Structure 1
């Protein structure tokens, strides 16, 4: 390696530490994280054009074959189109928008499993059939349906029958959330990124997303549970999850993002907690997995492409006041 490269690498590392002290992190330029679905920015004419016969939308409007050509709730698909259509109907009174929104709402109701969960992709195969908390997909659907059930915001035009069906769907979703909360040694913990639609146990998805306890998506679930009328079961669920967050928090490390890598640095001066995205069920050890699907216990043990291409650490539970 040339001296210039060594000097540049050292400069980047020093600069990253300095910026980190002020809460600023360098983002690896080649890090690729999931982009929002087409519906987040599509024109209203395209939203109407690409609504599928079942009432949903695909994630990428340009995809025409395979699982991703089917209606989905992944990466903000479908529930985003519904929200945008409702808002545009309120602005324009164009019934094409309200009709498409209602068709989309009915799709979400039809997509829900009898046990209350939602899959990632409708009538699909493989891991796409799992109950999907990943990227807050199911929770965002429930937030939408709760708004519709209560005719909040842009949904005042929804009739009472459809609003009532949405209320029932949210109630079933809550039951599913309570049923899927993972129990370890008799104690409630949190949730996985996705759960088997039959057994309700944590399930794997992509090769680097193995069955585990997930700090990220579990925060979204707890935040939604806190908006529900309190019951002994809901309170127990929230309290157990928050205790788990406190138990598995990590103190004394700094996540350094250089120009081409993500590095975990031990630093005893760091007292602000951080959490791993995935924890091993039963041991609560942070786990990291590359494209080979093999569980590792250090971020440095997986390939560079996965280190920079996935959010392995975060401060998600701090949104709940966990310190």
Structure 2
């Protein structure tokens, strides 16, 4: 663990930040695209995910090195927090390049945000793919570990949570980006989702008031506020989470298809998202909504959250494919698995689906259904790695403490292995990794 963490911190990090992959000679770095020597990447398994692994190692061992590494990562996020309260996917540390970003930390060294040209994302908080949520959650965990002793980290947390509350629509939904938020005066969504009388079989670009559940956006913000309430006890944080839950209950479609869509219009009807995301019941997002409702029930005790979750779970079980997977999309009104071919035409056959998107998979739905079945019962004991698993992890590392695959060093592999090693060491030493460090699981990056 020490070798792996030391190598990652000293050689892979840039200004305390991380990317998804680096080459073994460290000359090439990449997040969702190639990055420079002065850039980090936010989206899991990027910067916040690596910081979370360091925190787990610290709780398992008490070794200051891991806490110092986590704090460095937190400071990188403080340096790249936007005036809008969250983060963009790319984290920039080059002093000249930072002039085109509305970072709170460099406000005195750059033009006012409104005077910056040539960068449309300059102040855009992004909530897609658990980006700003995971960053803010990690800062909260560092803040708790340091008992509020790092003033800049604590202040960034309070500022970010306030901005997330300001971003939330009156109906409880959050936007994908802070700069694409519909004005409150235009938020006139129906009280309950409904099926459209008809829907276009060819792509129609969404416009106007749009609400999105794609990639578990709403679930991950709700969990961020549940964590905030757990750590700080502020009623406003629980209220924000509950408003998010109200939106999920309103956005649940009626029987006999009581699931959720990826994208809704102002009347809470399913519509097209991107050209490969048709109006449909989305199994992955339905499972994410169920997961969030379980969390809300666990905190509030209100059974209506479980009632909505159980209706959706029954539908998920009914549409499971014979091979145990789920289609990502199910046709409105028929429950037929719905796919697209490489020309983005709707089809009922998965054979010719584009390979840049998962149209059929397990989507981690089965664990959510199992969690719902166990709701109200005692939590299962933490999964402790076996000695055989640990031996495999140790055997895969090289002398420098690296896990190398396909000529690359992967943050996802580092995070997974360090957290598993930490869990094993904590169990052997009689230590506890606080449950809250697992309250916000970091999903694997999906294509």
- SS of the residue 1:187 aligns to: coil
Structure 1 residues 91 and 226: CA distance shift in structure 2, 3 A? closer
**CA distance, structure 2, for counterparts of residue 36 and residue 141 of structure 1:** 15
Larger mean Cα displacement after TM superposition, 99-108 or 46-55: 46-55
- Relative to structure 1, the CA distance from residue 219 to residue 295 in structure 2 (aligned partners, 3 Å threshold; closer, same or farther) is same
Deviations 1:56-100 (Å, cap 9, x if unpaired)? 111223596335861111122111221222233344421000000
Sort the Cα spacing of 1:81 and 1:232 in 2 relative to 1 into closer, same or farther, 3 A: closer
Task: Mark the CA change 1:37 to 1:49 in structure 2 (over 3 Å): closer, same or farther.
Answer: farther
C-alpha distance in 1 between matches for 2:120 and 2:230: 36
The residue that corresponds to 2:115 in the other structure is none
The reply on whether 1:195 has 2:264 as its aligned counterpart is yes
CA displacement at 1:130 relative to structure 2: 3.4
Identify unmatched segments of 5+ residues in structure 1. 1-31, 152-157, 254-272
* Correspondence for 2:95: none
Rate the CA distance shift 1:69–1:296 in 2: closer, same or farther, 3 A. Answer: farther
Among residues 352, 358, 363, which one is paired with 1:301 in the alignment? 352
Aligned to 1:219: 287
- In the superposition, relative to structure 1, how do residues 278 and 182 fare at CA in structure 2: closer, same or farther (>3 Å)? same
Take 2:338 and 2:289, find their aligned partners in 1: how far apart are those partners?
A: 21
**2:384 maps to what in 1?**
none
Aligned equivalent of 1:311:
358
Q: Would you say the 8 A contact 1:127–1:204 is kept in 2?
A: no
Q: Which residue of 1 is the match for residue 154 of structure 2?
A: 98
The structure-2 alpha-carbon separation of the partners of 1:217 and 1:45, relative to structure 1 and needing over 3 Å to count, comes to same
Aligned partner of 1:16 in structure 2 is none
Query: 1:216: how far off?
Result: 1.0
Query: Which of 262, 271, 274 does residue 325 from structure 2 map onto?
Result: 274
Shift of 1:103: 0.8
Contact between 1:39 and 1:77, CA under 8 Å: does it hold in 2? Answer: no
* Distance in 1 (alpha carbons) for counterparts of 2:286 and 2:135: 25
How many pairs were matched up? 256
| Whole-angstrom distance in 2 between the partners of 1:129 and 1:290 | 28
Cα distance between partner residues in 2 of 1:50 and 1:35: 14
Q: Does 1:115 align with 2:171?
A: yes
Change (3 A) 1:35 1:168: closer
What pairs up with 1:48-63 in 2 under 5 angstroms?
A: 48-61=78-91
| Cα distance in 2 for residues equivalent to 1:177 and 1:249 | 22
Change (3 A) 1:87 1:233: closer
